[in-house]
Chain A
Amino acid sequence: MDGNAAFAATVRIGTPLLFAGLGEVLLERSGLINIGIEGVMLAGAFSGFFASWYCQSPLVGALAGMIGGALIMLIFAALVLRFSADQIVTGMAVNLVALGLTGTAWMRLSREALAAPTFKTLDSELPGWSNVPVIGPLIFAQTPLTWLALASILGVWYYLERSERGLELRAVGENPAAAEASGVNVLRCRWKACLAAGIFCGLGGAFLTISQTASFAPNCTKGRGFVALAAVVLGRYGAFGTAAACLFFGAAFYSRDALPSQSLAPDLIEMLPYALTLVALCMKSQKRTAPAALGKPYGTN
C-alpha cells in the first residue's frame, strides 16, 4: 500500500465529513447546535441522487443536494428560531423525519431508479498527475466536490475570523443580547447560518451518492453526521481545527477498512475516533472554547 493512495483515500473519505463539519461550525459559532445534521446529509444524499438520475447530470444533483439539505434545515430553523423549541430535541426529530422520508420514498422509487441507466458521476479529469507528492493525492486524485470542500475550509475560516459578517456571527454566538444591542439582527443571522449549514451538509450527503459511485441506499450516511458533530467539538469550533479532525477521522475510517484484518481488529479502530474525541475533551476544560450562547434559545418575540 503506497502512501499516496492512502492519503488520497483519507481525503476522499474525509470529504463528506468536511462539508458537514464546516456547516456545523458556522451553525455552532452562531450559537445553535443541530444534532440532526445526519438527517440533513441524508436528505442531501437522496435529493442529490434523484436529481442526478432524473436529469442525468451530477451537476444538477449537486445543486439539488444543497437545496434538499437546506429545506430540511429550514424545519430545524423554523422550530428553533421561530418557536424557540429545544435544539437537541428538534435536531433529533429532523434526523427521524429525514430517515423516514428518504427510506419510504426510496422503497417507492428504487425499482425505477435501479432499472434506468445510471448517470455519469462527478469524476476528475486529471488522473495522470495523482502521483505528484502531497498535491497529487490531495488534489489531482480527487473529484471536483473535494476541491470545493478543501476550498471551503479557507472560505469558512476567512468568513469567520476575518470578515465583518463573521465577527457579527461570532458575537451572536457569544452574547446575542449584546450583539442585538449593537445593531445585529440575531435571528436573521442565525437563519442565514442555518441556510449555509443546510447547503454544506446537503452537499456532503450528495457527495456520497453522486461522486465516484452513483448509488443511494436508506440510511447511507451511516452516522457521518454524528462524526462531523464530534469533529467540530474536537476541532474547537474553528474551521482549521474541524477540518483537521475531519481528515483524522477520515484516516481512521480508511485504516479500519484497509488494514489487513489480523493486525488490529477493525472494530477497535472504529472505536478509536470516538474514544480519542472523549480523551481530547477531557484534556482541557470545554467551558472556554464553546460559544457562550451555544444551545440556548434567544427571545420568543
Chain B
Amino acid sequence: MHPTLRGALWPLLLIGTTVSILALAILAFGQRQNPGEALLTLWRGAFGSLDAATDTASRAAILIFYALGVVLSFRAGIFNIGTEGQSRMGAIVAAAIAVNGPGRTLASVPFLGIPLVLLFGAIVGSCWSLIAGVLRRWRGVPEVIGTLMLNFIALALARYLLSDPALLRESRGVISQSDVIPAGLQLQSWGATEFHTGILLVLPLLAWANVYLFHTPSGFSLRATGLNPAAAKTCGINVAAVELKTFAMAGALAGFAGAMGVLVRYRLDKAPYPSDDYGFMAIAVALVADLKPLWTLPAALLFAALEVGTGSMERNAGVSHEVVYLVEGLIILAVLIRHVASSRSRASEGSAAAKAGV
C-alpha cells in the first residue's frame, strides 16, 4: 500500500477500532443493550453541549501537556512514567504558594501572578523528574522504577499535606482539600462553560514541541540519543546532558499542568485534576500519536472525549465507566502490533532474506 494512503487510513482505523470495542463491550456488559443508543449517549456526553465540549477540551489540554512530556521522553529513549507524580508536585507547590502569604502578594500583581505560580509548578515538577534522571544516570536505577516510586511518594505527600490544617488542609478542617486560592490567581472559566485561558496555551505549545523536536539541533540530539545512544555519543552528542534535559522538560510540562489544575479548580483537591489516571492515559495518547507532537491534539481529544462520554454512558446505559481503560489498553496493543507489522514489512521490502527469516 502507498505510505501516504496508509498514513491516512490509520486514524480511521483507530476510530473504527474504538467504536467497535465500545460496541462489543456494550453488547457484552451493558444493562440495556442497544449499542447505537449507548454510543450516542457517549457522543452527547462528550460534545452534546457547550458545557460538555469545553469540559472535554479542558481535560484534553491537560492530557496534551502530559503527552508532550511523554513524547519527548520516549523519543529520547527514556521511559518516564512519572507524569502523575511530577504533576502532583507542581500542584502542591502551586497550592502552597497561592493559599499562603506569597499568594496574596502575587494575586495583587497584574498579569504576572498566574504565570509565576505556573512557573513555580513547572520548576518543581522538573526537579521531581530530575531525581529519577539523576538516579538513572549515576546509580543505574531503571527510570521506570524510579519514576513509579516518585509517583507514589508525591501522591502520598499530597494526602499528608491535606491531612492537617497546619499544613495545607482547609482551615475549616472538614474536607480533605486546601483553602480557596485568592481570586487574582484563579484561572476563571469563560461564562458558563468550562473553557479557560490555559487551554489556549496548548496551541503554541504544540507548535513549539514540533519545531523543537524536528527543526532544532537540540531536538535532533534528543532523537539521535533515543535511536542509538552509543552512536549519538560517538557523534559528539553529550548523551547525559540530553537525557537530563529531557527529564527536566517532561517534568516541567507535567508540573505546569498540575499547577494549572489547581488554578482552574481554585484549590488543591484530594484527587488530582482531572483524574489520577491521566498520567498513564498520556502514554496511550503519545503512542497513538505515533510520538509525533501535532498528532497528540486529535489523540488527546479522542481520549478526553471517551473519558467524559463514558461517564454519561454509565449513568444512561449502565455500562461501567471503566470500559475506557479497556479501550485504551486495546488501542495500545493495536499500536504495538502495528509497529511490528510495519517494521516487518519494511524489512521484507528491503531484502528477501529478511522475509525468509520472519
Contact = CB atoms under 8 A, between A and B. Distances in A.
B328 A282 contact: no
Where chain B touches its partner, the secondary structure class is helix
B278 to A, nearest CB: 13
Given A93-B333, A107-B319, A286-B142, A271 B326 contact: no
B323 A89 contact: no
Nearest to B339: A85
B294 interface: no
Nearest to A85: B336
Contact of A103 (B159, B322, B357): B322
B27 to A, nearest CB: 11
Nearest to A91: B144
A274 interface: yes
Contacts of A300: 344, 357-358
Given A92-B81, A233-B145, A265-B160, A85 B340 contact: yes
B332 A89 contact: yes
Nearest to B343: A300
22 contacts: A85-B339, A90-B336, A92-B81, A93-B333, A97-B333, A99-B322, A103-B323, A104-B323, A108-B31, A226-B152, A230-B149, A267-B159, A271-B157, A274-B153, A277-B145, A281-B141, A281-B145, A282-B141, A290-B140, A290-B142, A300-B357, A301-B357
B329 A95 contact: yes
A282 B135 contact: yes
Contacts of A267: 156-157, 159-160, 163
Nearest to A83: B340
A241 interface: no
Contact of A274 (B131, B152, B328, B332): B152
Interface in A73-122: 75, 79, 83-86, 88-90, 92-108
B322 A278 contact: no
Interface in B306-349: 314, 318-330, 332-333, 336-337, 339-340, 344
B81 A229 contact: no
A277 B30 CA distance: 42
Contacts of B326: 96-97, 99-101, 104
Contact of B163 (A79, A89, A265, A271): A265
Interface string B136-178: 0001111011101110110011011001100000000000000
B71 interface: no
A103 B325 contact: yes
B299 interface: no
A127 B336 CA distance: 51
A285 interface: yes
Contact of A275 (B153, B327, B340, B358): B153
Nearest to B323: A104
Contact of B336 (A35, A79, A105): A79
A274 B153 CA distance: 7
B169 to A, nearest CB: 12
Nearest to B31: A108
Interface in A226-241: 226, 229-230, 233
Interface string A262-301: 0001011011001101100110011100100001000011
A33 interface: yes
B97 interface: no
Contacts of B323: 100, 103-104
Contact of A83 (B160, B328, B336): B336
A285 B145 contact: no
Query: Top 8 A-B pairs ranked by shortest CB distance?
Result: A100-B326, A103-B322, A96-B329, A100-B325, A97-B329, A107-B320, A267-B160, A93-B332
Among A106, A229, A274, which residue has the most Cβ atoms of chain B within 10 A? A274
Contacts of A271: 152-153, 156-157, 160
A218 interface: yes
A223 interface: yes
A290 B339 CA distance: 28
Contacts of B140: 285-287, 290
A68 B149 CA distance: 27
B23 interface: no
B333 A79 contact: yes
Interface in B32-54: none
B280 interface: yes
A83 B337 contact: yes
B249 interface: no
Contacts of A92: 81, 280, 283, 332
Among A84, A98, A102, A278, which residue has the most Cβ atoms of chain B within 10 A? A278
B25 A93 contact: no
B111 interface: no
Contacts of A230: 145, 148-149
Contacts of A84: 340
B10 interface: no
Contacts of A301: 357-358
Nearest to B79: A88
A259 B326 CA distance: 38
A96 B332 contact: yes
Given A92-B283, A96-B325, 15 more contacts: A92-B332, A97-B329, A103-B320, A104-B25, A104-B29, A108-B31, A218-B322, A271-B160, A278-B153, A281-B139, A282-B139, A290-B140, A300-B344, A300-B357, A301-B358
